[in-house]
Amino acid sequence: MNKLVIVSGLGALLSLAGCMQEGNMARAQTSVTAAAPTVEEAKAFLARAEEQLAQQGEELSHASWVASTYINYDSLWLESLASQRFTELSVELANEAARFNDLDLDAVDRRKMEALKQVLVFPAPNDSEKAKELAEIGSQLNAMYGAGEYCREKNGKQECLSGDKLENIMSTSRDPQELKDIWVGWRTVAPPMKPLYTRQVEIGNEGAQELGYDNLSVFWRSKYDMDPDAFAADADAQWNKVKPFYDALHCHVRAELNEYYGDDVVPATGPMPAHVLGNQWAQQWGNIYDLVKPENTDLGYDLDALVKKNIKDEVHMVKVAENFFTSLGFEPLPETFFERSMFVEPTDHKAVCHASAWNMDGKDDLRIKMCIDKSAEDFETVHHELGHNFYQRAYKHQPVLFQGSANDGFHEATGDTISLSVTPKYLVDIGWLEQEPGSEGDLGYLMKMALDKIAFLPWGLMVDKWRWQVFNGEVTPENYNQAWWDLRREYQGLVPPVERSEADFDPGAKYHIPGNTPYMRYFLAFIQQFQFHRALCETAGHEGPLHRCSIYGNKEAGEKLNAMLEMGASRPWQEAMEAITGQPELDASAIIDYFAPLKTWLDEQNQGRQCGW
């Protein structure tokens, strides 16, 4: 998976919508008295809150869908209005939930109270003007990103390219000057975001403090059923387990790119420039596999070519991915999914092409929004997206406040677990290959996977480390960009291809920053998916190397997966983890085991090289 995704909709509790007339808000506020709350009062409040969320939840989902698939002044205005209403209701419910902080509630009701306080990513203060301002900023930032483009001279004509098209060029171009121009050009969309983002953080911190958190950093890290500082420490501990592997991969990739491009583009020592790794953000490196792959190692197949040969159109690609899930025992997607989803980039208006999965009503109005290309990357991404949709439907029977994943990493991990089963065995099972390639191709397969999975981990960690530092004041607007590149150098061993300054706002060139999507979910998911994969393969009775396993067609694995999915957010994530893997903790050992043969090979290749940066 190369395109990262978000989950939107009622089921994820991120696109819940709610509105309350001013008179009702005033009555609700005046009903809050100084009297000590009772358990009965708490239960009545929760029932009312969930009813409001269920009844009004579709408003923002639909407004956001239109604003994302048909960008214009009016769609953004409607989304902003719906977002303001949702924000005001959420703030009101969160503040009222805080009344019951000291009440002795049963575990289910206490969990619902905490969920109410954490529905919003950026909680607004209990001030309608600031709630409105926060909603407007969110819509503006999203629109800036979605409408962003880079214009260049091509064959004597001006050519303007969307972010999605620029990604496609960066995935295949080997012209260092073109790559540099595109890298710099896309980042021109971000500087106007900086003052808006700064103000957004100010308002969000006020809102978090009103809910009893020191700042947004603590607020974001409080959603993982453990102490916020302990959560951050565990993330670091898991990264440190994998870091030796990343260091070895970085060393080999740098050496191969230096040989290909020369010292002027990629130096033989020190950090690598960020524009030559086949991805706009250098977050995954699979697109440069041909430059760094092991010699005399043939995968035995070309997934890009197989997709182009076997896939008729975008709908067909989605149907193939849907078949994976039905082979596990899941019910097919509803017809409305195919009627209402966006599969192709519109030609007559602008839309946000960034792939995302939606549940509009917390029930069966499932959709994906994506500009699908007939490529290996998008073939895997579609499988990933449907993982979100099937997860959303699995927990639709849970109470509204539990219609989400065990933690936000579980949603991403579920999608990627399915992608891990897109192996040669799977391609044989669906008739795209006559037989699995021999083991001589395994090293190349693992290298291609590592360029996406291992290379991603430091990026997945540092994006929110930057935001945590911004939120707690450690990083100020005066050094946003410097801090960003300090972290990228420290964790990824990467530097910008041209000099940057505080006139730039390079974080804003990544969707999840203006889109306000927390990023730790991806770091967690890239570890959890290998835990899930290992456990499901054991259930399926797979024998042999883990990287050759596909659970396609195995009903027992499907039952085990579904049992975890149906839990939603009703229990601490550690219990959901134990339900599917047998262990309650996050554990990076599965990813290390999966790639062990490649690590041995990398260490051999790196002998005599000066590794590190």
Here the tokens at position 151 are 């214009």
Yes or no: say if 224 and 464 are a contact pair by the CB < 8 Å rule. Answer: no
Yes or no: say if 45 and 29 are a contact pair by the CB < 8 Å rule. Answer: no
436 counts as catalytic: no
Which one of the listed residues 62, 252, 275, 512 is annotated catalytic? 512
Kindly report, residue by residue over 267-312, the tens digit of the pLDDT.
999 999 999 999 999 999 999 999 999 987 787 889 999 999 999 9
Q: Which pLDDT value is given to residue 53?
A: 84
Which one of the listed residues 250, 252, 383, 388 is annotated catalytic? 388
Any residues with CB less than 8 A from the CB of 151 and at least 6 apart, and which? 158, 159, 160, 161, 185
Q: Identify the band that residue 478 occupies on the pLDDT scale cut at 50, 70 and 90.
A: very high
Which one of the listed residues 522, 533, 552, 576 is annotated catalytic? 522
- The structural domains of the chain, with segments of one domain joined by +, span 6-145+193-208
388 counts as catalytic: yes
Yes or no: say if 479 and 500 are a contact pair by the CB < 8 Å rule. Answer: no
3-state SS assignment for residue 8? strand
Which one of the listed residues 97, 143, 385, 480 is annotated catalytic? 385
512 counts as catalytic: yes
CA–CA dist 562, 549 (Å, integer):
19
533 counts as catalytic: no
Q: Identify the band that residue 26 occupies on the pLDDT scale cut at 50, 70 and 90.
A: very low
355 counts as catalytic: yes
Any residues with CB less than 8 A from the CB of 73 and at least 6 apart, and which? none
Q: Which pLDDT value is given to residue 10?
A: 41
Please say if the pLDDT value at position 16 is more than 60: no
Please say if the pLDDT value at position 343 is more than 50: yes
Kindly report, residue by residue over 163-174, the tens digit of the pLDDT.
989 999 999 999
CA–CA dist 209, 145 (Å, integer):
29
Here the tokens at position 294 are 């092991």
Got the DSSP string for 304-333?
HHHHHHH--SHHHHHHHHHHHHHHTTPPPP
Closest CA to 399 of 577, 574, 568: 568
Q: Identify the band that residue 34 occupies on the pLDDT scale cut at 50, 70 and 90.
A: low
Q: Which pLDDT value is given to residue 149?
A: 93
Q: Which pLDDT value is given to residue 237?
A: 95
